Amino acid sequence: MKTILKTMTPAVQIEKADYKVREESLRIRLLALQKDLAASDRAILILMNGVEGSGKGETTRKLLEWLDARGVETNAFWTAQGEESEHPPLWRFWQKIPARGRVGIFFGSWYTQPIIDRAFKNISKEEFERQLGEIRNLEEMLIAEGVILIKFWMYLSLDAQKDIAKARKAKAATRWRISSLARKFARKRKRFQKVDLEVLSQTHTTITPWTIIDAASERSRELAAGETLVEKLRQALHPTGEIQLQTRPRFKVAARNYIADLDQTKKINDEEYKEELARLTARVATLSDRMSTSKKSLALVFEGPDAAGKGGAIRRVIAGMDPRHYRVIGIAAPTDEEKVRPYLWRFWRNTPRDGKIHFFDRSWYGRVLVERIEKFCTENEWQRAFGEINDFELALTEAGVTIRKFYLATTQDEQLARFKDREITPYKQYKLTEEDWRNRDKWHAYEAAACDMFANTSTAHAPWILVEANNKNHARIKVMRNVVEALEEALA
Amino acid sequence: MKTILKTMTPAVQIEKADYKVREESLRIRLLALQKDLAASDRAILILMNGVEGSGKGETTRKLLEWLDARGVETNAFWTAQGEESEHPPLWRFWQKIPARGRVGIFFGSWYTQPIIDRAFKNISKEEFERQLGEIRNLEEMLIAEGVILIKFWMYLSLDAQKDIAKARKAKAATRWRISSLARKFARKRKRFQKVDLEVLSQTHTTITPWTIIDAASERSRELAAGETLVEKLRQALHPTGEIQLQTRPRFKVAARNYIADLDQTKKINDEEYKEELARLTARVATLSDRMSTSKKSLALVFEGPDAAGKGGAIRRVIAGMDPRHYRVIGIAAPTDEEKVRPYLWRFWRNTPRDGKIHFFDRSWYGRVLVERIEKFCTENEWQRAFGEINDFELALTEAGVTIRKFYLATTQDEQLARFKDREITPYKQYKLTEEDWRNRDKWHAYEAAACDMFANTSTAHAPWILVEANNKNHARIKVMRNVVEALEEALA
């Protein structure tokens, strides 16, 4: 495992005068590159990791001194608190992903909690490795989305750590720095070292390498950090013919047309509908109230062609619910703050916290439906989206979010009939636009894309439920029954 | 005080069939108006208030059923929690101000906490009235910024409240609704009634009237809420010649040119500078560390013409600070999410939470400087901004944020010399743009606007500090000294 340390930038003695010269040159190059970055479609994310006393703070301070601080945002992450703890562990990091053109520094990162949990044996080896796998996927995705990821590890040998701790104890001015937590950690130094090296080894990939710096000498540590930043920025912004590393999408073409297989003759008559709807509404009311005070939450995705009845189905589900407990999120074009961040950011902004139920009227699946068909994204982008979305949904599920995804399917004839009805019914006219007619021309392309979507993203924890929607009564009751089941399962 | 109840919409008996007809008509009108709203530059904010059991939840549910739920966001506010409690009381409401074209429903509002605090006598009459005054100013500002504010109060007489409580207790299905908190409130019913009426009377203005609805009858309550919404929307979106109410700006023209009065010959030589800088840097380091674990925070505003040294001064202050404790916020053009909300929203997004120090490199004063001069806003907008900004800063101060505002002033000649220097120094070139030269032509207009700004917004709690900035050493030391003083004052 110690082989990973062979990649480390060693600590070297640097004279003050020499340091000054190199610092000056570094700063000029950094500012110039930061200006190029601001005009580019890339963002930098720096993860600042390392043991207590390794100078993470001092190095960050230096970087901020060298850079134009207005383009940088530093975020410190400790234990998740308040709303943070009512979301998946990755949520708080997602909220702070830097926008294009900007620099984000994460002080303490997604590595911190798994390392602590593993060092204190709060989690099993399997869970630890699952979390590292999750991190690897996240990092690959960020890089594919154009984020320049720089992972610093400030390394100190056990002896160096002990020396620093001793020096700190001796120095009155810094004695207050030694918190009881730090003392608790200090007793586990060896154990931490072992876990650290394990993490470094397992998450050092060609695409997401670590930059390990020997932190024993302050000047060489700071210059190494600065030089690395310059080099990574230069490579990313002014590539000299290197081959761009790209992740290979995990993607399979659907084997059959699931939508054509649906039995669209399924019907529920009005009397039975009314009775069953009343029963289910009451059930949803009771269960959603119970959920509101629990640590569980629910994400309900609604997809399907125009006029398939997504809105109507949602309206029936919310009818019995307390408006404080749910949100209906209509997904339209992204805002400019959303456009300058990785694709999934705008959905991570809208994941339900504990107790809440979120309805997505269209969703992150836009990537593999409308964006794929209208060519709003590249082939690589929509193909890798399947894996990214599965990771996203798994992260939610692991954190207590139950997910159900409804695809409301009508036949082409039924859609035409509904469009015509919308044209003549006053309070429905607002729903029909030119675009709806245009999308209709691409019916088969959308159907094929939807089938690929089912084949690639219907998982045990986040299944697709195909709803025969030619008969509205049937569709609504089927949705309601599945929502009730999902609530029961979540609260069981 | 009971005269306020004369404005109340009475409860009337409505037959079910009649209700159905009116509901249908209401829904058609609401959807049409919501569509007009989506295309307008207005937002709706509905405050849903009233005693326990008055049907706030049920009415909100109805509104959401009638409207297109995708355009609506419901937010429930209880006691401030987590990060919310590390900001001014108004902060959490600001975060949720609806965007233009959308509907926001606040379930529990800025009235809730003052009412509870006053009913339980946690705050004095004076503090209570101060808070109501703050709310009045906030509401006036929102309306001036184009928000359609609808304040619902669901009224129940004391007898009606008791009847409902009895009925609930009897009904097994709803018994769980009676929390221990509700019981505590129920014992204070009379006291709450008194405070409620006081609040209604004191915050019912021509510009921000209450809509009080007798909540005793469910059907008439719901229709009254719906009809009010239709009427307010119609008035706002399709005005029929009524006079628009506008707040009169509180604004005075500066009596003298404070900037011309500055003694720009003030100097500090390099040796003295180095020594004093080192001393102050250490002091800032210690004090900012202490602040980081306190309930206090600091907002530092930097304004002044291009090349006056704002960035350089900030760089000196942060040199000794832990990057986890501060943020440098460069204010440029607003994003589109910012453009669709009241002007101050983007600053409320960036106020420091407990323990933090935020540097604003340019700030909310852009409204009365560049936006005034370049005519990016109307005269009414920049004139009322003075009062709005004073309210904003007061709200921060009341919540433990210490504010210092630095205006770095150079002479015109000095600016020219610095521009020329920037042209020839490689790592400074990025700072100089065409716009800087254009701004230079409007030197006197900017100077006059700055003086108006000092005259109207230099308050005891948030003073302007004019910094003679021709000599950089002097300017930086003056800023540092004031920052140290501010930190000491905050932590005293």
Tens-place pLDDT, residues B48-104: 999 888 999 899 999 998 999 889 999 988 778 778 889 999 999 999 999 999 999
Q: What is the pLDDT along chain A (492 residues), one digit of tens a residue?
A: 578 888 888 888 999 999 999 999 999 999 999 999 999 999 999 999 998 889 998 999 999 989 998 899 999 887 787 788 899 999 999 999 999 999 999 998 999 999 999 999 999 999 999 999 999 999 999 999 999 999 999 999 999 988 888 887 776 555 555 556 667 777 888 999 999 999 999 999 988 999 999 999 999 999 999 999 999 999 999 887 665 556 667 788 999 999 999 999 999 999 999 999 999 999 999 999 999 999 999 999 999 999 999 999 999 999 889 888 999 999 988 988 999 999 999 999 999 999 999 999 999 999 999 999 999 999 999 999 999 999 999 999 999 999 999 999 999 999 999 999 988 887 777 778 888 888 888 999 999 999 999 999 999 999 999 999 999 999 999 999 999 999 999 999
SS3 content of chain A, % helix, strand, coil (to 5): 55, 15, 30
Mean pLDDT for the stretch of residues B382-398: 95
Select the residue of A82, A315, A336 nearest B65 (Cβ to Cβ): A315
Residues from chain A contacting residue B105 (CB–CB below 8 Å): 323
Tell me if A361 sits within 8 A of A309, measured CB to CB.
no
**Two tokens, residue A100:** 């294009």
- In whole angstroms, give the CA distance from residue B331 to residue B333: 7
- DSSP alpha helices (H): ranges in A218-325? 218-237, 270-292, 310-318
Could you say which DSSP state residue A39 is in?
T
Select the residue of B31, B70, B322 nearest A328 (Cβ to Cβ): B70
Q: Is B180 on the interface with A (CB under 8 A)?
A: no
pLDDT value at residue B436? 87
Flag if B65 and A328 touch (Cβ within 8 Å): no
A to B CB pairs, distance under 8 Å: 113
Q: Which of residues 58-77 of B touch A (CB under 8 A)?
A: 60-61, 64-65, 68-74, 76
Q: Is A27 on the interface with B (CB under 8 A)?
A: yes
pLDDT value at residue A151? 97
Please tell me which residue of chain A has the smallest CA distance to B329: A70
User: What mean pLDDT is reported for chain B?
Assistant: 91
Q: Is B57 on the interface with A (CB under 8 A)?
A: yes
- DSSP alpha helices (H): ranges in A240-340? 270-292, 310-318, 336-339
Q: Is B8 on the interface with A (CB under 8 A)?
A: no
pLDDT value at residue B465? 97
**DSSP secondary structure, B51-65, as one string:** -TTSSHHHHHHHHHH
Tens-place pLDDT, residues A338-354: 999 999 999 999 999 99
pLDDT value at residue A440? 87
Nearest Cα to A466, choosing from A316, A258, A254?
A258
Give the mutation candidate from B324, B345, B428 for the A interface (greatest A CB count, under 10 A). Answer: B324
Flag if B427 and A74 touch (Cβ within 8 Å): no
How close does chain B come to A247, measured CA to CA in Å? 32
Q: Indicate whether B22 pLDDT > 80.
A: yes
Flag if B327 and A73 touch (Cβ within 8 Å): yes
CA atoms within 13 A on the CB side of B162: 8
| Strand (E) or helix (H) holding A72 | strand A72-76
pLDDT value at residue B324? 86
Q: Which of residues 303-332 of B touch A (CB under 8 A)?
A: 311, 314-315, 318-319, 321-324, 327-330
Phi, psi (degrees; rounded to nearest 5) at B23: -60, -45
pLDDT value at residue B179? 59
- In whole angstroms, give the CA distance from residue B297 to residue B402: 6
Residues from chain B contacting residue A76 (CB–CB below 8 Å): 324
**Two tokens, residue B333:** 């053009």
At which residue do the structure tokens 């309900």 appear? Answer: A300
- In whole angstroms, give the CA distance from residue A63 to residue B319: 11
pLDDT value at residue A181? 65
pLDDT value at residue B98? 96
How close does chain A come to B309, measured CA to CA in Å? 13
Is 0.95 exceeded by the ipTM? no
Q: Indicate whether B1 pLDDT > 70.
A: no
How close does chain A come to B74, measured CA to CA in Å? 6
- In whole angstroms, give the CA distance from residue B440 to residue A1: 61
Residues from chain B contacting residue A105 (CB–CB below 8 Å): 323
Q: What confidence tier does B248 reach under pLDDT thresholds 50, 70, 90?
A: low
List C-alpha distances in Å: A318 to A56, A309, A327, B65.
Answer: 49, 14, 9, 8
Tens-place pLDDT, residues B189-241: 899 999 999 999 999 998 899 999 999 999 999 999 999 999 999 999 988 76
**Domains of chain A, start order:** 2-237 (3.40.50.300), 270-491 (3.40.50.300)
pLDDT value at residue A120? 92
Tens-place pLDDT, residues B291-302: 999 999 999 999
**Two tokens, residue A24:** 């000056």
Tens-place pLDDT, residues B482-491: 999 999 999 9
Q: Indicate whether B174 pLDDT > 60.
A: no
How close does chain B come to A76, measured CA to CA in Å? 6
| Strand (E) or helix (H) holding B49 | strand B43-50
Give the mutation candidate from A300, A315, A427, A432 for the B interface (greatest B CB count, under 10 A). Answer: A427
- In whole angstroms, give the CA distance from residue B386 to residue B368: 8
pLDDT value at residue B44? 97
Flag if B335 and A337 touch (Cβ within 8 Å): yes
Nearest Cα to B199, choosing from B147, B151, B150?
B151
Residues from chain B contacting residue A426 (CB–CB below 8 Å): 28, 32
Please tell me which residue of chain B has the smallest CA distance to A330: B70
Select the residue of B27, B328, B330 nearest A427 (Cβ to Cβ): B27
pLDDT value at residue A245? 56
Count other Cβ atoms within 10 Å, centred on residue B77: 17
**Two tokens, residue A318:** 């919310």
Nearest Cα to A461, choosing from A407, A389, A391, A393?
A393
Count other Cβ atoms within 10 Å, centred on residue A409: 24
- DSSP alpha helices (H): ranges in B187-242? 189-202, 218-237
Tell me if A228 sits within 8 A of A211, measured CB to CB.
yes
How close does chain A come to B191, measured CA to CA in Å? 27
Flag if B324 and A361 touch (Cβ within 8 Å): no
pLDDT value at residue B241? 67
**Two tokens, residue B110:** 């800025």
pLDDT value at residue A387? 92
SS3 content of chain B, % helix, strand, coil (to 5): 55, 15, 30
**Two tokens, residue B17:** 């069939």
Residues from chain B contacting residue A70 (CB–CB below 8 Å): 311, 328-330, 361
At which residue do the structure tokens 């719901």 appear? Answer: B222
How close does chain A come to B232, measured CA to CA in Å? 20
pLDDT value at residue A331? 92
Q: Look at residue B268 and give its three-state secondary structure.
A: coil
List C-alpha distances in Å: B34 to A40, A378, B31, B371.
Answer: 39, 36, 5, 31
Nearest Cα to B103, choosing from A285, A335, A323?
A323
- In whole angstroms, give the CA distance from residue B388 to residue A77: 34
Give the mutation candidate from B63, B427, B432 for the A interface (greatest A CB count, under 10 A). Answer: B427
Flag if A323 and B60 touch (Cβ within 8 Å): yes
Flag if B81 and A76 touch (Cβ within 8 Å): no
* Planar angle of CA B166, B169, B172, nearest 5 degrees: 140
How close does chain B come to A135, measured CA to CA in Å? 23
Residues from chain A contacting residue B361 (CB–CB below 8 Å): 70
Tell me if B216 sits within 8 A of B158, measured CB to CB.
no
Tens-place pLDDT, residues B103-127: 999 998 999 999 999 999 999 999 9
Flag if A76 and B324 touch (Cβ within 8 Å): yes
- In whole angstroms, give the CA distance from residue B213 to residue B160: 14
Tens-place pLDDT, residues B345-378: 999 999 999 999 999 999 999 999 999 999 999 9
User: Which percentage of chain B shows pLDDT scores above 70?
Assistant: 96
Tens-place pLDDT, residues B305-329: 999 999 999 999 998 898 889 999 9
Flag if A57 and B324 touch (Cβ within 8 Å): yes
**Two tokens, residue B137:** 């100013």
Select the residue of A64, A323, A359 nearest B57 (Cβ to Cβ): A323
Tell me if B228 sits within 8 A of B152, measured CB to CB.
yes
Residues from chain A contacting residue B81 (CB–CB below 8 Å): 82-83
Question: Parallel, antiparallel, or unpaired: how do β-strands A401-409 and B72-76 relate?
Answer: unpaired
Tell me if B218 sits within 8 A of B55, measured CB to CB.
yes
Could you say which DSSP state residue B50 is in?
E
Give the mutation candidate from A65, A70, A74 for the B interface (greatest B CB count, under 10 A). Answer: A70
- In whole angstroms, give the CA distance from residue A177 to residue A162: 15
